[in-house]
């Protein structure tokens, strides 16, 4: 039976059989529509890319206030559109390894302080100019300038000097950093002519699509760039278009109605409904993003380790995953790293809900009375519900949690990173070093748990300069255990990225680093029929 279906699905892929007929026959063979669609999708993938057509995405995360300057990219639409028209030095592959793009070769000195990027020959900008080492240098300069408003400024901080050496760009760091190639994949760092110093919003780079339409908050579009350096390997559709659809219902109906071929941010609560829609496939992938309850390690009563442990044991992670994410995620273990990261250690013991242990540690902490938890709808989707679930699981351990619901407006400036116990989320970072450096080093601006541990700082900085992956992995394991057992973060779950696509789409590859195939969906997918 499955052979027959496979045979038929290949017929659909080459256009000998209509999709409707195929689904009809599949139903006659007793196969569910969802499974039949999956078959179709894989047949389309096996068939190889199809050229032409207009590929359309409906996306949440675009505003009238956006512009094309990569330094200002903040939300999903500029991010995804940037990956269509922009070209980067390096890119992150779905398996977590680095792909050389404009940089043909990357070499580090033995101490990981001096990095050499060899610039590829024959890469052409949309304006006809050839990409030179000077353009790359100017790009890095623009984003690392102290006065720059670039979102990449934080990751460019460790650069001591940069220079062009023939075809090479040489970057010298103040401290060793084995992760520099990962940092260079940051989505802000689109290589532009003269680094975009002349006209950052011109939308000119060397990506597979040329910008043809840019109406911020409405739509963005591009047409295939004939002289793209990778030729036909990327950029299968003649044109691409992103339509900004911030309303979740409108987004789903646009996909159902066939106005767009793919959408991002399907809400967990409607995933099961969307799954039943014929012709639509849910594309979920587990990513590095996570939801957190954060306690300040230096503020009473949370400065007591037993109290923090009590709060951790009182978290029912499975229930959170089940009820808040409807299963579209994975349980967390009180440190911010999961399998989405290279060098993740999967052998750290999973902490489970244990009201008895929670009660034991709570008693030992000597604290009595209620714990005040601040939350808001904007902290993460379902944050207020999650706080209430937590309140109940704490109550079973004899811990009283009081919930204060804060207004969404001003939550990030007044509550998060200010109040001692609150809910929040993290989108994750490309590497462990980045994640820990952003939120767990003593010196980090966003050390939202006030985790002030010199030994931890030392460990992270040492790991940063370690080029031996085995040693490095062991160091990150130690760091994770330290955060898990002593830190102020209670991390119940990692959330999946949930996109959905029409089964007309071929070439979809799950990418754990971001939604819509880490932004590359429009550049890499094709219209199958």
Partner 1 sequence: MTSPILKLIAQRVALGLLLLLAVSVLIFAGTQILPGDVAQSILGQSATPQALANLRAELGLNDPAYIRYFNWLGGIMTGDLGTALSSGQDIASSISGRLWNTLFLAFWAAAVSVPLAIGLGLLAVRYRNGWVDRLISGLALASTSFPEFFIGYLLVYFFAVKWQIFPGISTVYDGMPFLDRMQAIALPAAVLTLVVLAHMMRMTRAAILNVMQSAYIETAEMKGLSAIDVIRRHALPNAIAPIINVVMLNLAFLIVGVVVVEVIFVYPGMGQYLVDHVAKRDVPVVQAVGLIFAAVYIFLNIIADIGAILANPRLRHPK
* Candidate segments 179-187, 231-239, 243-251, 423-431, binder of partner 1 by CB under 8 A: 243-251
Given 250, 444, 461, 474, the residue binding partner 1 (CB under 8 A): 250
Closer of 218 and 395 to partner 1 (Cβ): 218
CA 341 and chain centroid, separation: 11
Smallest gap from Cβ 355 to partner 1, in A, equals 39
Closest by CA position to 83, among listed 115, 59, 48: 59
Contacting residue, 9, 66, 139, 495, with partner 1 by CB under 8 A: 66
Task: Out of 172, 239, 246, 391, point to the residue binding partner 1 (CB under 8 A).
Answer: 246
Shorter beta-carbon distance to partner 1: residue 116 or 256: 256
The 3-state secondary structure of 45-63 reads HHHCCCCCCEEEEEECCCC
CB of 484 to partner 1, least distance (A): 30
Residue 245 lies near partner 1 (rule: CB under 8 A):
yes
Q: What are phi and psi of 332, to 5 degrees?
A: -95, 170
Which of 246, 375, 387 lies closest to 315 in space, CA to CA? 387
* 8 Å CB contact between 316 and 352: no
Among 41, 58, 158, 428, binds partner 1 (CB under 8 A): 58
Considering only 2, 18, 32, 65, the residue that binds partner 1 (CB under 8 A) is 65
By the 8 A CB rule, do 343 and 432 touch?
Answer: yes
Toward partner 1, which CB reaches closer, 153 or 459?
Answer: 153
Q: Give 47 or 438: the residue with its C-beta nearer to partner 1.
A: 438
* Rounded alpha-carbon distances, angstroms, from residue 509 to 41, 239, 528: 11, 20, 15
Q: Using the rule CB under 8 A, which residue among 161, 259, 299, 392 binds partner 1? A: 259
Q: Which of residues 430-449 bind partner 1 (CB under 8 A)?
A: 445
User: Does 352 participate in binding partner 1 (rule CB under 8 A)?
Assistant: no
Report if residue 213 touches partner 1, rule: CB under 8 A. Answer: yes
Give how far Cα 182 sits from Cα of 89, 98, 230, 526, Å.
10, 7, 21, 28
The answer to whether residue 253 forms part of the interface with partner 1 (CB under 8 A) is yes
Q: How far is CA 365 from CA 221, 303, 313, 369, in A?
A: 58, 10, 14, 12
Closer to partner 1 by Cβ: residue 250 or 339 = 250
Minimum Å gap between C-beta 265 and partner 1 is 14
18 binds partner 1 (CB under 8 A): no
Question: Which CB atom, from 214 or from 393, has the smaller least distance to partner 1?
Answer: 214
- Least distance between partner 1 and beta carbon 243 (Å): 5
Q: Which is nearer to partner 1, 18 or 259 (CB)?
A: 259
Residue of 38, 85, 452, 78 lying closest to 240 (CA atoms): 85
Smallest separation (angstroms) from partner 1 to the CB of 179: 23
- In Å, how far are 7, 12, 30, 233 from 20, measured between CA atoms? 15, 10, 15, 30
Q: Binding marks (x or -) toward partner 1, 144..163, rule CB under 8 A?
A: ---x----------------
**Binder among 249, 350, 400, 442 for partner 1 (CB under 8 A):** 249
Q: How many residues bind partner 1 (CB under 8 A)?
A: 29
Interior/surface letters 86-105, b for 16+ CB within 10 angstroms, e for the rest:
bbbbbbbeeebebeebbbee
232 CB-side CA count, 13 A: 5
- How near is the Cβ of 219 to partner 1 at its closest, in Å? 6
Query: From the list 258, 278, 366, 407, which residue makes contact with partner 1 (rule: CB under 8 A)?
Result: 258
Which tokens is 88 given?
């980067």
Contact 429, 435 (CB under 8 A): yes
Find the shortest distance in angstroms from Cβ 434 to partner 1. 18
Say how many C-beta atoms besides its own lie within 10 A of residue 130's C-beta.
Answer: 14
Question: Is 342 strand, coil or helix?
Answer: coil
Judged by beta carbon, residue 218 or residue 230, the one nearer partner 1 is: 218
Which parts of this chain interact with partner 1 (CB under 8 A)?
58, 63-67, 147, 213, 215-219, 243-247, 249-250, 253-254, 256-260, 413, 445
């Amino acid at each position: 039976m499955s052979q027959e279906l496979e045979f038929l699905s290949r017929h659909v892929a080459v256009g000998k059989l209509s999709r409707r007929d195929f689904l009809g026959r599949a139903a006659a063979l007793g196969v569910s529509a969802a499974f039949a669609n999956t078959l179709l999708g894989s047949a389309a993938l096996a068939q190889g890319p199809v050229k032409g057509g207009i590929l359309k995405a409906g996306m949440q995360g675009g505003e009238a206030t956006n512009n094309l300057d990569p330094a200002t990219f903040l939300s999903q639409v500029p991010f995804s559109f940037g990956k269509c028209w922009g070209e980067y030095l390096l890119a992150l592959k779905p398996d977590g390894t680095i792909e050389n793009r404009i940089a043909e070769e990357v070499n580090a000195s033995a101490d990981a302080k001096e990095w050499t990027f060899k610039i590829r020959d024959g890469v052409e900008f949309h304006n006809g100019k050839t990409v030179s080492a000077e353009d790359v240098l100017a790009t890095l300069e623009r984003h690392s300038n102290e006065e720059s408003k670039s979102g990449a400024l934080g990751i460019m901080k460790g650069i001591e000097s940069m220079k062009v050496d023939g075809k090479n760009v040489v970057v010298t760091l103040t401290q060793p950093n084995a992760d520099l190639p990962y940092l260079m994949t940051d989505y802000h760092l689109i290589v532009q002519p003269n680094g975009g110093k002349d006209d950052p919003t011109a939308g000119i780079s060397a990506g597979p699509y040329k910008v043809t339409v840019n109406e911020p908050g409405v739509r963005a579009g591009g047409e295939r760039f004939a002289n793209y350096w990778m030729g036909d390997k990327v950029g299968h559709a003649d044109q691409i278009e992103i339509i900004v659809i911030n309303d979740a219902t409108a987004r789903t109906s646009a996909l159902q109605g066939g106005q767009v071929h793919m959408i991002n941010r399907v809400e967990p609560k409607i995933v099961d409904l969307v799954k039943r829609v014929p012709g639509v496939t849910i594309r979920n992938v587990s990513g590095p993003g996570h939801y957190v309850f954060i306690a300040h390690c230096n503020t009473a009563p949370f400065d007591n380790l037993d109290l923090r442990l009590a709060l951790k044991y009182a978290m029912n992670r499975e229930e959170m995953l089940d009820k808040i994410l409807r299963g579209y995620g994975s349980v967390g273990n009180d440190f911010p790293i999961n399998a989405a990261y290279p060098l993740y250690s999967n052998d750290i013991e999973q902490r489970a809900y244990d009201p008895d242990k929670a009660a034991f540690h709570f008693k030992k902490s000597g604290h009595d009375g209620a714990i005040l938890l601040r939350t808001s709808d904007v902290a993460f989707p379902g944050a207020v519900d999650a706080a209430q679930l937590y309140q109940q699981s704490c109550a079973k351990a004899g811990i009283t949690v009081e919930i204060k619901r804060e207004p969404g407006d001003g939550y990030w400036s007044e509550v998060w990173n200010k109040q001692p116990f609150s809910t929040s989320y993290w989108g994750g970072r490309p590497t462990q070093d980045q994640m820990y450096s952003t939120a767990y080093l003593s010196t980090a601006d966003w050390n939202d748990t006030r985790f002030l541990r010199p030994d931890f700082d030392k460990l992270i900085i040492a790991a940063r300069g370690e080029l031996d992956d085995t040693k490095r992995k062991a160091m990150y394991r130690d760091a994770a255990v330290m955060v898990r057992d002593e830190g102020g973060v209670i991390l119940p779950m990692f959330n999946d990225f949930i996109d959905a696509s029409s089964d007309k789409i071929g070439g979809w590859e799950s990418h754990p680093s971001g939604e819509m195939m880490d932004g590359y969906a429009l550049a890499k997918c094709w219209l199958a029929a």
